[in-house]
Structure 1
Amino acid sequence: MHFFNSFLAIGLVASTQAISFPSILTPRASCPAVWTQISADLTKLFVTGLTCNDNARAAIRGVFHDCFPQGGCDGSLALFPEELSRSENSPMTATMNALKALAVKHNVGVADMLMFAGSHAVISCPGGPKTTTYIGRTDATGPAPTGQLPAHDVPAAAAKARFAAKGFSSQDLAALIGSHSTSKQFLVDPKRAGASQDSTPGIWDILYYGQLILKLAPFSFIADKNLLADADTGKYMKTFSVSKRSWDDAFAPAMAKMELLGPEFTKVDCTGALPRSLRKRGNTQSYARSIINSLSLGKLAAE
């Protein structure tokens, strides 16, 4: 996944207009039953052989591409072909079209579908944490502006400044970049399209951090290396390399914060409609091995 198409890339969008970040209020209604039906459809879309697939990766990435440009989390990414056809978004076309079709099928908003799908995709990866997820947004009436995504080699200081402007701390940024545990790049090096950022892209583990630190990753973005070398973000990334719990505990609230970027809306909590962790649904030996390998590598990286 190219930095633009990656979790961080999206996050580093330089918007010329501030996006309001709503406070979390007590939900005023219960989650409609349709979201449980949608969850079942998403599991079929996101899970292959007890690991998360390319559709899940695109859904996670889609949260950042939809939320960080001007307008916030409004579904414009999937609603407008003009936006989806941009080079930084085009690798997600099939998945975004599938999510838009699913929203039409169940008569729900596209913006809500993209955010629910992003949370669902994370937990569809073995070991992925559950993110507090709300519905109630208003869909976009036009595409997001162009030219708001940064380069794949953005300096750490610029990355931190962009995130801070939207209410994210250095710890948030270090945790969010960890979604590269399941990502693949397509645009930075077209000759290596599909190269992953750690050796287990179908599993939500901390191998990404350890392999980045030890320079053993199949592919690493320059921006990731810059964040690792930075004193603020680097210290968190090194901590996450030896503690998956610390990473999960930091990632889930940061992801929830991202999914609330944009105009205020009446929040309806649909977290309960998300599936149980894939780890709990089917605890495989491959997942256990990935955690052991991740921890072992993380310890080496911390030495």
Structure 2
Amino acid sequence: MAYKGLVAAAFTLATLANAKPLNRRVACADGRSASNEVCCQLFPLVDIIQEKLFDGGECGEEVHESLRLTFHDAIGFSPTAGGGGADGSIIAFADTETAFHANGGIDEIVDAQTQFIADNNVTISPGDFIQLAGAVGVANCPGAPRIPYFFGRPAPKAASPDGMIPEPFDSVDKILARFSDAGFSSAEVIALLASHSVAAADTVDPTIPGTPFDSTPGLFDSQFFVEVQLKGTAFPGTPDNEGESKSPAAGEMRIQSDEALARDSRTACEWQSFVDNHDKLMSAFSDAMVKMSVLGHDIKDLVDCSEVIPETTPLPADAGPHLLPATTMDDIEQACADTPFPTLTALPGPATSIPPVPPS
């Protein structure tokens, strides 16, 4: 598209040089208040993001893709191999980075956000915008934490190197090594995978876009961690697809790397710990997301503008970890050697097909 080739210099950072948090709140022009005056410009931007990018505040396809983009931009960082981390290079150097194999399908949300930036005269850096959109979007999903947001990333200087983004068919060894190189523990890797609770696959099998990774893609809950632990059958359609694995239900997709991480001795117990501990899930995901969102930057050089992120809503009263209809605890593939899998009951009724996430 016309805006796809925008270079980093096209984005300016509307902030004060070396701005530091104030000891008292300041009044913004729209009547809201912030801990630092540079955050005031973000309130109206968040309103526009909610209205125009997220269809009035929905937890839908654009949210899923914006959350994916936060990771694909940020993980392009290595102390040895280079990369600017969460700097917006995936937008500023889109022609280069969207061509990476691991970024298949990411061009749609890159184009959408680039167009949004141009149409709405957004004057913050692309790195700031990507992480802002991700934090705002996930806040729309019931059960999600309110992720702290830090502002002030400079414009990116270069494209990320290729080969930095883990892929669905990578081994656990390769995934953990790549994350370790970027500074993440194995527990933090599993916490970040909570994003798959509100995610869907468009390109693993392009004939069935919008295929969710669990049965509740509109909720930030632990069902993803339950359902990946269920026995599965070959996913219908194209069983030889690269990166494709088994699914416990029709209409649902499980990728190989998720299945492997759920069953590896280094990560299985952490995976299982999220099944019946939603508070831990929210806290661990929030902490890991903040760490990812500032990769390549010194957080002391950024301004805490967390107050601009919308308040979140809790899970519905009837939500909670459960087995899928027509399954039992015998269908759980126990992998944690330390503690038994939490005892769950199945939803009533026969086995059903999980509907796809509709396009926005």
Length-normalised TM-score, structure 2: 0.68
1:262 counterpart = 2:275: no
Compared with structure 1, are the counterparts of its residues 168 and 191 closer, same or farther at alpha carbon in structure 2 (3 Å cutoff)?
Answer: same
- The match for 2:65 among 52, 58, 62 is 58
Structure 1: how far apart are the matches of 2:93 and 2:169? 28
- Kindly state the Cα deviation for residue 134 of structure 1 after the two structures are TM-superposed: 0.4
Q: What CA distance in whole angstroms lies between the structure 1 residues aligned with 2:211 and 2:95?
A: 27
- Alignment of 1:93 with 2:122, yes or no, is no
Shift of 1:48: 5.1
Alignment partner of 1:82 is 2:82 = no
1:180-212 CA deviation, whole Å, 9 max, x = no partner?
011111222233332110011122111111111
Superposition deviation, residue 264 in structure 1: 3.1
The whole-number CA distance in structure 1 between the counterparts of 2:142 and 2:103 is 26
Q: Which protein is richer in helix relative to its size?
A: 1
Paired residue for 1:288, among 317, 323, 327?
317
Identity among equivalent positions (%) equals 26
What is the match of residue 23 of structure 1? none
Task: Write the letter of the residue equivalent to 1:63.
Answer: T
Match of 2:32 in 1: none
2:152 alignment partner AA: G
Please list, as runs of the form range in 1=range in 2, the aligned pairs for 1:92-131 lying within 5 A after superposition.
Answer: 92-104=106-118, 105-131=121-147
Distance in 2 separating the partners of 1:85 and 1:111: 16
Q: What is the distance in 1 between the residues matched to 2:57 and 2:257? A: 31
- CA contact under 8 A between 1:206 and 1:244: conserved in structure 2? yes
Decide which of 45, 49, 59 is 1:42's aligned counterpart: 49
Match for residue 239 of structure 1 among 266, 273, 277 = 273
* 2:218 corresponding residue in structure 1: 202
How far residue 161 of structure 1 moved from its aligned partner, in angstroms, is 2.0
- Residues 127 and 204, structure 1, Cα contact 8 Å, conserved in 2: yes
Uncovered stretches (5+) of structure 1, i.e. residues with no partner: 1-25
RMSD across aligned positions (CA): 2.6
Identify which range, 205-214 or 185-194, moves more after superposition.
185-194
Q: Distance in 1 between matches of 2:322 and 2:57?
A: 21
Q: Does 1:172 align with 2:203?
A: no
Query: Residue in 1 aligned with 2:311?
Result: 276
User: Closer, same or farther in 2 for the Cα pair 1:112/1:230, shift >3 Å?
Assistant: same
Asked if 2 retains the 8 angstrom alpha-carbon contact of 1:27 and 1:269, the reply is: no
Contact 1:34 1:106 survives alignment (8 Å): no
Pick 1 or 2: higher relative contact order, CA cutoff 8 A, min separation 6.
1
Q: C-alpha distance in 1, partners of 2:167/2:212?
A: 19
Alignment-mate amino acid for residue 62 of structure 2? N
Question: Helix, strand or coil for the counterpart of 1:288?
Answer: coil
Q: Whole-Å Cα distance in 2 between the matches of residues 90 and 227 of structure 1?
A: 22
| Higher alpha-carbon deviation: 86-95 or 178-187 | 86-95
- Given that residues 197 and 220 in structure 1 are in contact (C-alpha distance below 8 angstroms), is that contact kept between their aligned partners in structure 2? yes
SS in 1 for 2:267: helix
| Residue type at the aligned position of 2:92 | L
Q: Given the alignment, which residue of 248, 263, 274 partners 1:229? A: 263
- The alpha-carbon deviation at position 27 of structure 1 amounts to 4.9
Change beyond 3 A, Cα 1:35–1:49? closer
| Structure index of larger Rg | 2
Question: 49-58 vs 175-184, which deviates more?
Answer: 49-58
Structure 2 residue matching 1:191: 3-state secondary structure: coil
